[in-house]
Amino acid sequence: MDKYVIEGGRKLCGTVVLQAAKNSVLPLLAASILTEKRVVIRDTPPITDVLCMAQILRELGAEVSFSGGNAVIESADASCHKISSVLTGELRSSVFMLGSLLTRFRRAIIAYPGGCDIGLRPIDLHLNALKRLGVVISEREGCIHCACERLRGAEILLDFPSVGATENILLAAVKAEGRTVITGAAKEPEIVDLQNFLNAMGAKVAGAGTDVIEIEGVGELSGVNYRPIRDRIEAGTFLIACAVCGGEVETAGLRADDLRLLLHKLRENGCKIHAKNDKIRIESSGMLKCNRRIETMPFPGFPTDLQAQATALNAGAEGCSLIVENLFETRFKYVPELQKMGADIEVKDRHAFVRGVKRLHGASVVAGDLRGGAALVIAALGAEGRTEVLDLSHIDRGYADFRGKLKRLGAEIKRVRV
């Protein structure tokens, strides 16, 4: 097990070249088996979630290699429609494979997916939508068994704009007979990216980015060489880190529209934000004011994946803040670790009441999930003294070269084997 050793109090200055979006690359990898032709996904970050998804594809019989930062998938010989419980237990995004497997094999067996322990994430929306497309589903021995003679287009209404369910429907409907309409679809930029990826393969998908997506099934899909969008959560993490530490940081590769609400909140904190084309620059004195309220919502609302980082910011700002988590009921599990650093936070159900303190102090803390771990690193960067952040396996799931990028910005951070 590795840990970060961080000396707080250093300003951050420089440019961060953003990695491809984790939440885009994973469904693109799942989509790669929709064709027997070669698929190349450029600039694929070597994060553990990506490596786990690659191993799932290998178990199905595909060949996956990484060359020059690109993922190359050859799935002509893929023949297996079952994913082992070991891999699904490690990766929540393995659930995306249901739609792809059903399209390719008309069969799928998958254990219930895992990932970060941030609360219940039921997949009823996924399963009910697949049933609308003609899939027969049973559950036994801890696995979901899906089968169909053929996939048929249908009208599907989502009660909640689930990103995963929207993506699974797209993957299942793209070669289904007839037309599928998703009403109440998720609007995240990653949905648009999946649409663009599929259309580059010859699919007929329209409407991504709105709450109605239409899919006309096609007979065949071709290979593709594709560059995914940049990671808006990584961008937000570095912008928040600069806000906490003070300094001037620019992210490269992302449009401001994809982080509009975060940028608004950072202005509330007292930061200056400049955005042009795909560059976002933040200037911060490090003397911040609390946000009165942050409430997570589906896109274009405040991202749940930036809630922990925003809480870390407010913990060391002037004033009081209310953080409301609407999507995952146990996503405040990182708060006791922030409290070890002197944070004054009271959690009740899905609400966190934050009373900002003048400055947090160093401590030994444990990263219990991906975004909570990033929040602890941000808190440590702005804290007085030394902090040790243990169990980096969670952080490695979503951030490539996190230490290196922070160090190049001026942070004093080491990665040490425990």
Name the residues annotated as catalytic.
Answer: 116
Calpha distance 135→407 (Å, rounded): 50
The beta strand positions in 255-356, using DSSP E, are 272-276, 279-284, 293-295, 320-324, 344-348, 351-355
Cis bond leading into 336, ω under 30°? no
Helix axes 307-315, 370-382, angle to 10 degrees: 20
Class of residue 67 by CB neighbours under 10 A (exposed 0-12, middle 13-18, buried 19+): exposed
* Contact assessment for residue 362 and residue 386, using Cβ atoms and an 8 Å cutoff: yes
Closest Cα to residue 256, out of 237, 231, 238, 279?
A: 279
d(CA 234, CA 395): 11
Classify residue 306 by its DSSP letter.
Answer: G
Place of tokens 């929207």: 166
